[in-house]
Amino acid sequence: MAGLRGGGVAVRRQHAARHLLCLLALLLAGCDDTPPAQAPVFDADAAARRWNTPQQHWSRDQLEVLVLGEQVYARTCAGCHGAGGAGQSVIGAPALQGSAMVKGPPAQHVQIVLRGRGVMPAFGQILSDAELAAVVSYERNAWGNRGGLVGAADVAALRQARRPGGPVVARP
């Protein structure tokens, strides 16, 4: 019995250390003391060069979603999952590049970002429906992933879905 308790303590300590590392990464990612600049002007030509391929041509509206998603990802997700989506196993942040979850049903992906999972915090009260849809759309299409876009209305419907803990209220 003593061996089991010792192992349990070690597991709890490892889990706590992961939470602490994730929190530290989030804090460091958000510790930019420069004043916020005005929102950058959307450059449709630059976005088209970056995102359009012979196999996939995105409309201007779709490109705006992907660019917003990249911005949201950089400020809320990259601290743990990495700028290139490779993840950081030491803190329990899985790779998003080539991930079965990212390539899977969009509703599952949205729910994880809304409510959190494991050491990942919930972003449902931090991100608006449009921001959450954009970041999920970005993750589903960056780094070689090909998953289509998620709409803000889809996020709003999932946000209102009754789950343990009730609905998650959007930020204005």
**Average pLDDT estimate for 150-166:** 82
In a domain, 165, yes or no: no
Closest by alpha carbon to 61, among 51, 71, 53?
Answer: 51
The answer to whether residue 118 sits within a structural domain is: yes
172 in a domain, yes or no? no
Residue 91 placed within a domain: yes
- Check which CATH number belongs to the domain holding 132 and give it: 1.10.760.10
Task: Note the pLDDT of residue 60.
Answer: 94
Radius of gyration of the chain from its Cα atoms, rounded to whole angstroms: 18
Q: pLDDT class for 67, splitting at 50, 70, 90?
A: very high
> What is the value of pTM for the model shown?
0.73
Q: Name which of 43-52, 67-76, 107-116 the model is least confident about.
A: 43-52
Please count the structural domains in the chain: 1
- The answer as to whether 168 is a domain residue is no
pLDDT at residue 122 tops 70 = yes
Q: Please give the share of the chain, as a percent, with pLDDT higher than 90.
A: 55
Q: What is the model's pLDDT at position 145?
A: 93
**Residues whose CB falls within 8 Å of the CB of residue 40, separated by 6 or more in sequence, listed in order:** none
- Cβ distance 160 to 114 under 8 Å? no
Compute the distance between CA of residue 74 and CA of residue 44 in angstroms, rounded to an integer: 19
If pLDDT is split at 50, 70 and 90, which confidence band does 42 have? confident
In a domain, 125, yes or no: yes
> What letter does residue 151 receive in the DSSP assignment?
-
Tell me the C-alpha distance between 91 and 78, whole Å. Answer: 13
Q: Which of helix, strand or coil describes residue 120?
A: strand
In a domain, 38, yes or no: no
Give the range of the structural domain holding residue 150, as residue numbers without chain letter: 2-32+43-160
Which of 141, 156, 161, 153 shows the shortest CA–CA distance to 97? 141
Average confidence (pLDDT) over 17-25: 61
Residue 106 lies in a domain: yes
> What pLDDT is stored for residue 20 in this prediction?
62
